[in-house]
Structure 1
């Protein structure tokens, strides 16, 4: 699908008062659409900053109050300890997209370099303005699925040997986490953004021709935010993950994001030494610990949890 072929439709609706606003109904009626967001920025070039600020606020309406992150644990204790220390320090590690498990990561969009060869400066590089968009972002995955999701435990917590951490994004202590977390859009079509790349090349060449200095400042927010928005688009077959992504620029200062845990949940097969280590961290952080289990006498396929530290009833 070509970016310019997208039909931007903004429904004419009556304003809804805050007291009558139902967030769940609104989310169902307005599924996330990053192409719409980029078109609004592209069409409002003179007020791009205002357009983006408005879009950013709307995107945050898709975030649930509580999100979860599943962690795998295995025999590599050095790696396990790195995860424990990161959580103890109330951080989440962000990875380069090449380290993630989907070969199409960062490939939801593409451009045709042959169409950029008409610009003389790009002729010598076969029309390649950017080699790999995925180099521009770092990512960490969260999920809206709760702790009873058996696929999440199996796929991302090493067959229930790992653990899960909940984060409350409604709390002010997690403002940084909330600010860099975006909902994932699922689709079965990749997006051709050749027109965006042409627009960017023209913008750069115009700046160069009118500048007397060796460096120019590219302030086109369409190009700045396109990699961030489009990095949150994945194929439909991943939609079971109900993913929300921490998405930041690929900068060494952005490897870790502040994230204050709300509770720990231990997998059914989590080993004793790992359970004890997580409980020690929970004591330091003053948060509850739950263990997952299944009831042999329950006729439903579901996981349950029970609190094991402290032995009080904490509301999650």
Structure 2
């Protein structure tokens, strides 16, 4: 079945892979479903550059840290459960207490609790001290600092999770006008086709579909247990605004940005409709030497469609 026309399988896949009852068995079932619907070819859109030509010739791609990606919501995660908030606020209060010894040992479940605990350490309630007390400015400063630390804790959780893996991004189609425009230098670049599915190895197993949503669905209960499964879920969920990319992602161990990852030799290369003659000749030379099929994209004006013509 075609990935382009059938996406309902993604709901079953997501439930088995990341649902609240996921296990090794359900994840194995999810992998079987994913493999069934995985495209036979994955496509990487490139601008023409020395690095891009070298990567094609030497069979590698650069992986990146997700925190460097251009989506501001990349790796979105929502802290909504009371358990998670209590956990964070207790950590924030303990952190404040470690540098402000006068603060009492007290359970802290919310921002209100935190302010009350600071006030009690000053000898009154928050409302009393707020009305007229010489120590109120200090209490207010501690409250502001607590809120900053709360937000920093959430940001730290997200950043750590975002950088648990390096990622290479692929598209399921080679004829996306927007992808050619954005990632292949307005059709002056090229597109590489990789056969990852038939390898049926680690590269295949660690390549996952992106799940497009109209709101963030990833919510966590325990900030101390943001494991690799949670991170993988975070990094394969994106806003509907990106669904035109039909993206799949291959996960690699964490490394510095722009890390070289070994890839199979490309099965095909597609030249952009506006590719410059010198770039076309360079790519033809590489493809002929490596016995890679080469095509050129041709716009069909009457249908607003790009088709690949063999060269």
Query: Is 2:193 aligned against 1:166?
Result: yes
Greater helix content: 2
After TM superposition, the structure 1 = structure 2 runs for residues 235-254 of structure 1, keeping only pairs within 5 Å, are: 235-251=239-255
Query: Counterpart of 1:141?
Result: 169
User: Structure 1 residues 270 and 96 mapped into 2: Cα distance closer, same or farther (>3 Å)?
Assistant: same
After TM superposition, the structure 1 = structure 2 runs for residues 1-316 of structure 1, keeping only pairs within 5 Å, are: 27-32=6-11, 36-37=15-16, 40=19, 42-43=20-21, 48-73=23-48, 80-107=49-76, 109-111=77-79, 114-117=85-88, 123-124=94-95, 126=149, 128=153, 130=157, 132=159, 133-147=161-175, 149-172=176-199, 175-197=201-223, 200=225, 223-251=227-255, 255-294=260-299, 299-308=302-311
Q: 1:187 Cα shift?
A: 0.3
Moved over 6 A (4+): 22-26
Quick check: 2:17–2:30 contact (8 Å CA) kept in 1? Answer: no
Further displaced range: 121-130 or 136-145: 121-130
Higher Cα Rg: structure 1 or 2?
A: 2
User: Structure 1 residues 285 and 177 mapped into 2: Cα distance closer, same or farther (>3 Å)?
Assistant: farther
Q: 1:176 Cα shift?
A: 3.8
Q: 1:39 Cα shift?
A: 5.2
TM-score normalised by structure 1 residue count = 0.68
User: Structure 1 residues 185 and 24 mapped into 2: Cα distance closer, same or farther (>3 Å)?
Assistant: closer
Further displaced range: 152-161 or 109-118: 109-118
Cα deviation, 1:62-121, whole Å, max 9, x if unaligned, reads: 311122111123xxxxxx1111111211122211123322111122x2336743236559
User: Structure 1 residues 24 and 276 mapped into 2: Cα distance closer, same or farther (>3 Å)?
Assistant: closer
Cα deviation, 1:175-224, whole Å, max 9, x if unaligned, reads: 343222110100011135331426x2xxxxxxxxxxxxxxxxxxxxx712
Cα deviation, 1:25-68, whole Å, max 9, x if unaligned, reads: 9954433467624654x536xxx444433333333333111221
Q: 1:139 Cα shift?
A: 1.8
Per the alignment, in what secondary structure is the counterpart of residue 161 of structure 1? Answer: coil
TM-score normalised by structure 2 residue count = 0.69
Per the alignment, in what secondary structure is the counterpart of residue 65 of structure 1? Answer: coil
Unaligned runs of 5+ in 2: 97-148
Quick check: 2:9–2:33 contact (8 Å CA) kept in 1? Answer: no
